[in-house]
Structure 1
């Protein structure tokens, strides 16, 4: 009887582990901030559901990634730009110097370790604002290393290159949207890089008519990968543009995010994009900035879809999230605005379901979902847990007491929080 019970318990444990999520990129398993795990905590404190907390050598806003029993995150230590590997038991396994030359930007807003790492469980790819791009094994051994400024030209971007690359089918897709603000120059590009050796597979100039600060983008490219349709979504310089993963050819482009010739709206010279687009089956949601509009477009669009009523599903004229990326779940679109207001829209029509305040503080992290709840992270370290659905309900508000701008990570029954001071592991005993 005891042997049978032990066998059943072991089977249940193995089954639950099989359905646990790895979190290999900053927006999670399917690049949309959604976890399929259940039973993760909604409440924690120094005395409740805190498995461990370890100090970090320096601050950064990059989201960690998790695979199996290893956590990978980028950080600074003085001038060093580091990739750390920490076990899920809270013990540091190794640290690797990716480069040197950190630069802090906008006071407490960021530094050269802003892009998040990516892993497939065998290798980890790390990109820094300095242009350093490196592949290491999960044991910390370097496989290849390049500098994209040496390859593609010097970055000209006010607050540092912060876009996290996308990994798909052995290729890294990099969005480099920057420029000097002059109308006769164009530095922006999208490139596919062989993840096994660092060689360039293709490079496409990203041509737009953006001017001044709008040539700079702090958003990250996103992957659309639903129903057999897969492409790269790039965001910045007044446009959202989709590209073929195979050869870099443009599939569709959406203008009107910052109109160049519109009698009703003046061109905004500093409408640089920070929030990345979000994708779900059949839809791509494109935010803008500074209380501007939000666009939802058909995922199967082709060509220039600016002002195309068949391709644009709906437009919300104002209340863009500005910094946090949208989250699309079931029949709703969740927009955590920079000021802590949670705006929920109907996915099909764009009609407002509700807009309510969660916590009156800057919100830089993107929302994540697990088990009927959305986790919203404020800059002061307070995390608000909201129940999903058409009725606004705050389930819990949890304090860390430490500044943070990285998004939460949910992997293998644990919530990982990366603050400017520490890495936290939140899990039920």
Structure 2
């Protein structure tokens, strides 16, 4: 049970932009960034990394592990204050509050009570902000004013064991969320403007993973880990396109977002290693064929990042690693341990950045030749479970109750 309660923090767990022309280069509008792939744009690593970052502002926002969303100069933060879940819009330059929405939220009980705030990252697109609360409440707000557009609770008080963690995705004018709990749940697409249900797939309930997007031969698919499987769901109509078993055992969870590389989908989970699947058209449907499997390396509470044919992440034991994404072979695993497998891992161009729950931002060389650390900088006084949001030389860090804006000088 003690291990189970530790798992909540990283069961931490937002929206494809409709047009790149309406987005800032440094926007981070959803879980894992503009394309849900953990890739940072507009960041140039310093020639010499400083020993410390410069703090510009720090704001107490409430409890939570949800990564903020940055669009333009607005930072959208999802948190818990007392008995309410709140969405805050902050001015990114100053940290000052622009608007606030709130509603009464379900109490977090059991092993999850150490993390009472939301874990699901907001999604921002088409002038809307979509959130998923710990109790499964889906909300859509006007991004400019904070005015409530709609709010839905499809499975009242039905949640996964450790409450919700998946981050919603906005696609083709729909907000898509995996709601409910074990044995009773569904992936539901809501009309972004009205909240009307567009489609529903009720094959399996959620675990803690967030979906991503895959397109094969013109068919757009929502790919995600469920309570027992990995599935491809038609984005247009919610139909199941393919499914393979991926069952967590003992103290393992389906918490990592699938990694998409063309028609290849990489999945990983404790006790099951890391696997690559090729999604192919087969007759009138689709099939998932295993390309490779590495049973020795797996993550539990982070999603690896793909860069230049290499996969970088943090193992379930807390060691940074590199795999060859084409063969599955382990390139290296560092011996140092960074917490218990909770981390955000990002491709920041010339550097890979990792932020484990130890609150140390780690920069290292993106190479298969071995681990070469460039910097390790303390960025918070409490554990960090959210991703850092990086925009130019600014780094926004969410800790247990605050958001801090740091700069690299």
Query: TM-score normalised to the size of structure 1?
Result: 0.82
User: Which one has the largest radius of gyration?
Assistant: 1
1:171 correspondence with 2:174: yes
In 1, are the aligned partners of 2:135 and 2:157 still within 8 Å (CA)?
A: no
In 2, are the aligned partners of 1:363 and 1:405 still within 8 Å (CA)?
A: no
The equivalent of 2:190 in structure 1 is: 193
Of residues 216, 219, 223 in structure 1, which corresponds to 2:213?
A: 223
Say what the alpha-carbon RMSD is for the aligned residues.
2.6
* CA–CA separation in structure 1 for the residues paired with 2:382 and 2:303: 22
Moved over 4 A (4+): 40-45, 225-229, 301-305
Of residues 53, 60, 66 in structure 1, which corresponds to 2:57?
A: 53
Indicate the SS of the match to 1:136: strand
The equivalent of 2:306 in structure 1 is: 328
Indicate the SS of the match to 1:106: helix
1:247 correspondence with 2:234: no
1:203 correspondence with 2:193: no
- Pairing of 1:93-108 with structure 2 (within 5 A): 93-103=98-108, 106=111
- Pairing of 1:258-407 with structure 2 (within 5 A): 258=247, 268=249, 271-289=252-270, 291-300=271-280, 305=287, 311-391=289-369, 392-400=371-379, 401-407=381-387
Q: Over residues 133-157 of structure 1, what are the superposed CA-to-partner deviations in whole Å (9 max), with x where a residue is unaligned?
A: 2211223332423232xx3454142
* CA–CA separation in structure 1 for the residues paired with 2:220 and 2:105: 36
Deviates more, 1:84-93 or 1:225-234: 225-234
* CA–CA separation in structure 1 for the residues paired with 2:120 and 2:145: 18
* CA–CA separation in structure 2 for the residues paired with 1:142 and 1:94: 9
User: Which protein has the bigger strand share?
Assistant: 2
The runs of 5 or more residues in structure 2 that have no matched partner are 1-21
Residue 369 to residue 104, structure 1, CA distance change in 2 (3 Å): farther
Query: TM-score normalised to the size of structure 2?
Result: 0.85
Deviates more, 1:362-371 or 1:391-400: 362-371
* CA–CA separation in structure 2 for the residues paired with 1:365 and 1:97: 28
Residue 402 to residue 26, structure 1, CA distance change in 2 (3 Å): same
Indicate the SS of the match to 1:188: strand
The equivalent of 2:91 in structure 1 is: 87
1:426 correspondence with 2:406: yes
Q: Over residues 41-86 of structure 1, what are the superposed CA-to-partner deviations in whole Å (9 max), with x where a residue is unaligned?
A: 68456xx542423132322110011000010011111111111111
* CA–CA separation in structure 2 for the residues paired with 1:371 and 1:73: 26
The runs of 5 or more residues in structure 1 that have no matched partner are 1-16, 180-185, 208-214, 259-266
* CA–CA separation in structure 2 for the residues paired with 1:341 and 1:58: 30
In 1, are the aligned partners of 2:61 and 2:79 still within 8 Å (CA)?
A: yes
* CA–CA separation in structure 2 for the residues paired with 1:227 and 1:73: 37
